[in-house]
Amino acid sequence: MQELEPNIQCVTAAVAVLGDKWTPLLIQALAAGPGRFCALQDTVGGINPRTLSARLAALEEHGIVTKTTHHTVPPRTEYALTAKGRDLLPIMESMSAWSERYGAQ
């Protein structure tokens, strides 16, 4: 099998992180600021809680999202984009502009 060109390898690596159905939507939802689990579920709409939990854990593992637990009664957990996660926002904006231009053609 022929070795992939370096930029193809980079795209492959990015798709491995961002390619899940809900991941770009979660990044976009967190662009406005930190969010709690239920608020993210409402914002994204239609995501199963187990899937949301798995996606947030994966984003946390990749260093794109941080999880902060506030020791209050009841406990409160917030998710926020890291600097690495905020670096993805121009990509999300470009995807949005592309979609506005070409839509569902």
Query: pLDDT tens, 13-58?
Result: 888 888 888 999 999 999 999 999 999 999 998 899 999 999 999 9
Looking at this protein, which amino acid is placed at residue 23?
T
Structure tokens at 89: 């926002």
Across the chain, mean pLDDT equals: 91
Q: What is the pTM of this model?
A: 0.85
Looking at this protein, which amino acid is placed at residue 105?
Q
Integer CA distances (angstroms), 36 to 2, 63, 64, 83, 92, in order: 45, 18, 16, 19, 21
Cβ of 75: how many Cβ atoms within 10 Å? 8
ω into residue 74 within 30 of 0, thus cis? yes
Residue 86 · residue 39 · CB < 8 Å: no
